[in-house]
Amino acid sequence: MAQTAFSIENVTVSGTLGQTEVGEGTPEPIALLSVQFVIVGSGPNHVAGLILTTDSWVTSQVVPATFQSFGTIPGVDNEIENWEATSNSTLLPVTFEFVIFCDDLGGIDSAPRIWNTNGGSVFQVSVTNP
């Protein structure tokens, strides 16, 4: 089978302050991250997500993305897939840094991984507690 994921585009990032209940219903602030993106090309065997850090890459984690829908973009020959990944942190203030990946698992002898590294600058969004 040929490669079916070609690029990751149309990235929309949102970092917001929310609240969560801890213990006996005491509201605690929490940082919420939401990332929507498009994979150009459609195939049945894609796995996508973020590689994320909140401590300047001392540690990192994989945040799986969830497939949302198929679609098209005017001027793009291939169909697209819409994806979303979310994460949160109780550390405030916090800066989420991440890159986006897609593994194309439809290959016979290989599984290409494509990236969006924001042009080598990684994506960043900060959330503070006012």
Question: Taking 80 as the threshold, does the pLDDT of residue 21 lie above it?
Answer: no
The domains found in the chain, sorted by start residue, are: 7-127 (2.60.40.2440)
pLDDT of residue 22: 67
42 pLDDT band, cuts 50/70/90, is confident
94: which 2 tokens? 């916090």
- Which distant-in-sequence residues (6+ apart) come within 8 Å of 19 by Cβ? 27, 28, 29, 30
pLDDT digits (tens, 9 = 90+) for 66-110: 999 998 878 777 789 999 999 999 999 999 999 999 999 987 788
DSSP structure string for 11-41? EEEEEEEEEEEETTTEEEEEEEEEEEEEEES
20 pLDDT band, cuts 50/70/90, is confident
Contact 65, 49 (CB under 8 A): yes
Left if phi > 0, otherwise alpha if psi is -120 to 50, otherwise beta: which for 21? Answer: beta
